[in-house]
Amino acid sequence: MRIAVVGGGYVGLVSGACLATLGWDVTVIESNADRYRALCEGRIPIYEPGLAELVLANRESGRLVFADRIHGSVSGADAVFLAVGTPSRRGDGHADLTYVFSAADDVAHALTSSTILVTKSTVPVGTGRRLERRMRELRPDLAIAVASNPEFLREGSAIGDFMQPDRVVIGASSTSARAILEQIYEPLARKGIPIWITGLESAELIKYAANSFLAMKIAFINEIADLCEKTGADIAEVSHGMGLDQRIGARFLSPGPGFGGSCFPKDTQALARIAQEAGAPSRLVETVVAVNDARKASMAGRILAICGGSVRGKKVAVLGLTFKPETDDMRDAPSISIVHRLVAEGASVNAYDPEGVDQARPLLPSNVVYADSATAAISDADIVVLVTEWKEFSAINASELAARMRGNVVVDFRNVLDGGALKAAGLIYYAIGRTMPPAASEVWHPFGRHRLVALA
Ligand code: UDX
């Protein structure tokens, strides 16, 4: 089976390398010259655990090759996957399909035989039908069937998510498209992975509905966390008790500063728009978008509240900038609004992130200092704020933290630090979804250190 994948970005590169691992001959087409050159030189332009090794292994086996243009790269392909970006359109939140249709047109012009055109990118319901009409218009001489095969990869675990998915979703309106895609995913079916075959529109909507539901689950647990802070409940215990219900499930019930990334924010906005325009508005999804945006904007205010209303002149160590661990992606990361607000309130920010600094620098105020380790960021800090739960942060020793800091406030927006040990080390510890520590008041420590004491 010969497969072409248009788009060598996050989805295209992971999908292409994994399809080659399944045993197919894959050409990944990347039109951006710098990215194409990097790929040809064996450099992976994105941070994704295991991807560099997988790409290298498949290139060495000859199953994976790169091209820099569609023309000449799709002829003879049994399937052409579109894995180009569908960013939120400026201003109205709709998915911008410019790249999808431009790539589809280029594919149509470049084809020399019939094939199937598969949307891997997340596209609004109805896009597949539009592409079918477009293909008939441009190439009435060929049979170009259109199918939808949405991906459910999470950044940081993308390869595992592709090779061991909960399910593969295929939306096809022709038996030829269905047969080819079933053959492509047969190696996964052999491992017992459910292959769900449905219609074009259903497959397109499954992607948006699944992402929006997961986003709603996160927004929900974040609101319950706020209620815990007011009622003396503990969000970790509430979440655990909820998750034991098989109908709810324990995953995606961890509270945080709000969801970010390249998908949840974009897909919830797009689904809200799609539903509005289809005459079936989803107030739930609209509310998820609003609640999440408000939460991200409010997180810095919690830091101020804990510090008695002001961080002016304080040195704040921010641990973690990316929207989640095991990625370098800063898209819609909660850290962006947190750091901007802290700087606007007069704090000086020392930030550390294992992978995200290069992506973060252009998005954050120019006076942010970037430390090369958590220890360096923490040194002499008055306040430590954990925003992204990179594994290394959970291993921070409480006594060492207390000794290195100048102040004594630790804010944990992911509830991954050992609050008991931190309090035992004399620190004021705030975690999400637990009773807030009393607002601290600023006093000069007898030994001249800037310590905050919790008011009774
Ligand atoms: C998501 C979907 O999970 C994936 O199926 C889809 O293909 C792409 O979008 P991704 O955005 O890469 O994947 O990461 P994910 O792990 O889903 O996290 C998304 C956001 O939700 C992150 O900001 C994360 O911090 C947050 N999150 C996740 C929570 O706040 N709590 C949770 O329990 C889980």
Q: Report the pLDDT value the prediction gives residue 440, as an integer from 0 to 100.
A: 56
Residues 404/378, Cβ–Cβ less than 8 Å? yes
Q: Using CA positions, which residue lies closest to atom 7 of ligand 1?
A: 152
How far is residue 178's CA from residue 182's CA, in Å, rounded to a whole number?
6
3-state secondary structure at position 351: strand
Residue 251 forms part of a structural domain: no
The neighbour count for residue 452, using CB atoms within 10 Å, is: 23
- Among 198, 223, 241, give the residue marking a domain's end: 198
Q: Using CA positions, which residue lies closest to atom 34 of ligand 1?
A: 252
Residue 269 forms part of a structural domain: no
Residue 246's pLDDT band (cuts 50, 70, 90): very high
Can you tell me which atom of ligand 1 is nearest the CA of 389? 25
- Please, which residues bridge with residue 80 across strands? 4, 117
Residues sharing a CB contact under 8 Å with residue 95, sequence separation 6 or more, in sequence order? 86, 87, 88, 89, 122, 123, 124, 266, 270
| pLDDT > 80? residue 453 | no
Range of the domain at 44: 2-198
Nearest to 296 by CA among 213, 377, 218, 404: 218
* 429 CA to centre of ligand 1 in angstroms: 26
Can you tell me which atom of ligand 1 is nearest the CA of 254? 33
* 263 CA to centre of ligand 1 in angstroms: 8
Average model confidence (pLDDT) across the chain: 94
Q: Report the pLDDT value the prediction gives residue 92, as an integer from 0 to 100.
A: 78
- Among 152, 178, 198, give the residue marking a domain's end: 198
- Residues 37, 152 within the same domain: yes
Residues sharing a CB contact under 8 Å with residue 404, sequence separation 6 or more, in sequence order? 375, 378, 379, 380, 381
- Residues 183, 317 within the same domain: no
Burial of residue 291 (number of CB atoms within 10 Å: 0-12, 13-18, 19+): middle
Q: Report the pLDDT value the prediction gives residue 90, as an integer from 0 to 100.
A: 75
Candidate of 15, 18, 154, 291 to mutate for ligand 1, largest count of ligand atoms within 8 Å of Cβ:
154
| pLDDT > 80? residue 441 | no
- Among 198, 215, 250, give the residue marking a domain's end: 198
Cα dihedral across residues 42, 47, 50, 55: positive or negative: negative
Burial of residue 184 (number of CB atoms within 10 Å: 0-12, 13-18, 19+): buried
pTM: 0.94
* 359 CA to centre of ligand 1 in angstroms: 19
Candidate of 204, 262, 264, 353 to mutate for ligand 1, largest count of ligand atoms within 8 Å of Cβ:
264
Q: Using CA positions, which residue lies closest to atom 16 of ligand 1?
A: 154
| pLDDT > 70? residue 79 | yes
| pLDDT > 90? residue 6 | yes
Residues 419/412, Cβ–Cβ less than 8 Å? yes
Q: Report the pLDDT value the prediction gives residue 196, as an integer from 0 to 100.
A: 98
Tokens of 159: 């390869």
Q: Which residue has the tokens 């974009």?
A: 266
Can you tell me which atom of ligand 1 is nearest the CA of 252? 33
Average pLDDT score over residue span 390-396: 95
- Residues 186, 316 within the same domain: no
Residues sharing a CB contact under 8 Å with residue 138, sequence separation 6 or more, in sequence order? 105, 108, 109
Average pLDDT score over residue span 257-274: 96
Question: What Rg value do the Cα atoms of the chain yield, rounded?
Answer: 24
- Residues 167, 23 within the same domain: yes
Candidate of 159, 220, 263, 393 to mutate for ligand 1, largest count of ligand atoms within 8 Å of Cβ:
263
* 325 CA to centre of ligand 1 in angstroms: 10
Q: Using CA positions, which residue lies closest to atom 32 of ligand 1?
A: 252
* 323 CA to centre of ligand 1 in angstroms: 9
Q: Report the pLDDT value the prediction gives residue 94, as an integer from 0 to 100.
A: 82
Residues 370/351, Cβ–Cβ less than 8 Å? yes
Residue 256 forms part of a structural domain: no
Residue 204 forms part of a structural domain: no
Q: Using CA positions, which residue lies closest to atom 20 of ligand 1?
A: 259
| Domains: count for the chain | 2
Report the CATH number that the domain containing residue 396 is assigned in CATH: 3.40.50.720
Q: Report the pLDDT value the prediction gives residue 89, as an integer from 0 to 100.
A: 80
Rounding to the nearest 10 degrees, give the CA dihedral for residues 307, 308, 312, 317: 0
Q: Report the pLDDT value the prediction gives residue 57, as an integer from 0 to 100.
A: 97
Can you tell me which atom of ligand 1 is nearest the CA of 267? 9
Residue 211 forms part of a structural domain: no
* 92 CA to centre of ligand 1 in angstroms: 23
Average pLDDT score over residue span 47-62: 96
* 49-63, 308-322, 436-450: range with lowest mean pLDDT: 436-450
* 179 CA to centre of ligand 1 in angstroms: 32
Residue 35 forms part of a structural domain: yes
Element (H, E) at 444: strand 440-444
Per-residue pLDDT tens digits for 225-239: 999 999 999 999 999
Per-residue pLDDT tens digits for 113-134: 999 999 999 999 999 999 999 9
Residues 205/126, Cβ–Cβ less than 8 Å? no
Q: Report the pLDDT value the prediction gives residue 447, as an integer from 0 to 100.
A: 45
Nearest to 308 by CA among 446, 403, 438: 438
Which residues are the active-site residues? 263
In single-letter form, the type of residue at position 368 comes to V
Sort residue 271 into left (φ over 0), alpha (ψ -120 to 50) or beta.
alpha
How far is residue 289's CA from residue 268's CA, in Å, rounded to a whole number?
6
Q: Report the pLDDT value the prediction gives residue 448, as an integer from 0 to 100.
A: 42
Residue 88's pLDDT band (cuts 50, 70, 90): confident
Kindly state the percentage of the chain with pLDDT values over 90: 92
| pLDDT > 60? residue 456 | no
Residue 244 forms part of a structural domain: no
Q: Report the pLDDT value the prediction gives residue 438, as an integer from 0 to 100.
A: 63
Candidate of 212, 214, 293, 329 to mutate for ligand 1, largest count of ligand atoms within 8 Å of Cβ:
214
Residue 216 forms part of a structural domain: no
- Residues 192, 299 within the same domain: no
Average pLDDT score over residue span 41-50: 93
Which residues contact ligand 1 via a Cβ below 6 A?
A: 151-155, 211, 214, 218, 252-254, 256, 259-261, 263-264, 323-324
Residue 243's pLDDT band (cuts 50, 70, 90): very high
Q: How far apart are the first and last CA of the chain?
A: 70
Can you tell me which atom of ligand 1 is nearest the CA of 323? 23
How far is residue 319's CA from residue 413's CA, in Å, rounded to a whole number?
10
Rounding to the nearest 10 degrees, give the CA dihedral for residues 292, 294, 300, 304: -130
Cα dihedral across residues 97, 98, 99, 101: positive or negative: positive
